[in-house]
Amino acid sequence: MNERADYIPADDDDSLEALTIPAELGGLRLDQALARLFPQHSRSRLQSWLKEGFIRIDGGSPGVRSKVWGGECVELDPPPPPEVAAELPEDIPLQVVFEDEHLIVIDKPAGLVVHPGSGNWSGTLLNALLHHAPVLAGVPRAGIVHRLDKDTSGLLVVAKTLAAQTELVRQLQARTVKRHYWALVHGGLEGNGVVDAPIGRHPSQRTRMAVVGSGRAALTRYAVVERFARCTLVECRLETGRTHQIRVHMAHLGHALAGDPVYGRARSGDARLDAFPRQALHAFQLGLRHPHSGQDRVWQVPMAADFAALLDDLRGRGQ
């Protein structure tokens, strides 16, 4: 007899599966019976769903070690896959610097992921934007046209209409969007300069980026702002927008960012730099042409509080 012969269609919910446990499974533990009835799911997942109430046996949720005798009604109503959460609005506070019917300019805090992805299907800037401005549900990627790394703070622009998004993407491609960052780098960086070096996936460490000949063109301009004994505060201006661009280019010069867990140093000789919990990078200025009015607009925000506190500490000790 087919173990799923007593399947009962569920008219009210397309995700709900309902069936009767056949007599030949009588005597098995509940988790064993469920594994036979739903082979497309792992036993550990079924056990978890049972504990969380997504599987009901005769309307209840017995323990996984309970025995079945046949004839019990099983209802499986699994939670949506994590990818679905990527499209849901969430009430996450946003620091809005500017907003009109075409744009939103956000001062993103460190720790906030911009786009949902593996390991971060919810709690992202995209989820927050969908709650803040429901109209963004009708714009691809909720209007996001460029990103900041999770642990980079500062300014980021979002388009509220498809027309605005299209125009901002064109400006990014034309390299007319002005993005300025403060970066605290290890060592004594000498003078101002330009890093013009292509960036692509690291040849052996696929989670990292690197300067590689086969990479995409990447150009970063930098200028020294303030010097300390073991580090240098620099202003970086992006001409292109490659993944981890400033972090990779500064490390390529031999002056990785303080606090950078991927491209930085494990030990710098200064406990304050070693203890900083993220890459010391803040997008403090953003300039672009307004996609509707055509006017040139520039926004600035203060340095993130944790970054500013680190600099104050360095200055306060005569460094």
Active site residues per annotation: 149
**Per-residue DSSP letter, 256:** P
Note the Cα 175 to chain centre separation in Å.
Answer: 24
Token reading at 7: 């399947």
Specify whether the CB–CB gap between 154 and 301 falls below 8 A.
Answer: yes
| Cα four-point dihedral sign 64, 70, 72, 73 | positive
Q: Where are the alpha helices (DSSP H) in the chain?
A: 30-37, 43-52, 82-85, 125-132, 162-173, 245-252, 271-275, 305-316
Burial class from Cβ neighbours inside 10 Å (0-12, 13-18, 19+) for residue 312 reads exposed
Closest C-alpha among 269, 36, 24, 306 to residue 154: 306
CA–CA dist 207, 98 (Å, integer): 34
Residues of the chain by 3-state class (helix, strand, coil), percent to 5: 25, 30, 50
Q: What is the chain's alpha carbon radius of gyration, rounded to the nearest angstrom?
A: 26
Query: Would you list the DSSP string of 52-77?
Result: HTSEEETTB---TT-B--S--EEEE-
Collapsing DSSP to helix, strand or coil, 208 comes out as coil
